[in-house]
Amino acid sequence: MSVEVAAIRTLLLGLGNVLLSDDGVGIHVIRALDSSARTRQFDPAVALRDGGTLGLNLLMELDGIGALIVIDAMEFGGAAGTVRAFVGTDMDAQLGGQCRSAHEVALADLMSAALLTGSAPVRRALVAVQPASTDWGLEPTEAVRSAIPEACDTVLSLLEDWDHVPRRH
């Protein structure tokens, strides 16, 4: 039995703590996407969510969705503000590696629990931004603030690939 494309629900999930400068980049990207005129082009089945630091409390939100894009700060050895997308099993491998912060552990635990319970979406991606600082601060560093538009474009490209927004010209 095939699933209608219109029935697929995609969750864009921004994670992070906005009180810890660059750690809040996932939330800043979700806010930028939410205020963007381009969001009017989203398939109606696409939902944006500020997941904050809720970790395993988000597990129920993954149940029944067809696709997931997580946006988060992550240490992956790049220059501050570098944006990388990890798609499908690359996301799983990235989260299965050595976690460098409690925040990364929460996302790894969430995805592990989703995989174990069968609620992990088949289509899944992590849009990660290399932080410069996760010290106390209400604003991201300049390097990460400058990366927010690129992270938004990366999310939109994934949605285009998954046929959830019209192709850009």
Give the span between the Cα atoms of 135 and 149, in whole angstroms.
22
Confirm whether pTM is higher than 0.85.
yes
Instruction: Delimit the domains of the chain by residue range.
Output: 5-161
Predicted local distance difference test score (pLDDT) of residue 9: 84
Domain 5-161 of CATH type 3.30.360.10: no
Predicted local distance difference test score (pLDDT) of residue 102: 52
pLDDT mean by block of 10 residues, the chain; 169 residues:
51 94 96 79 83 84 90 95 96 78 71 89 95 95 98 94 61
Strand order of the β-sheet with 10-15 is 46-52, 10-15, 67-73, 123-129, 83-87
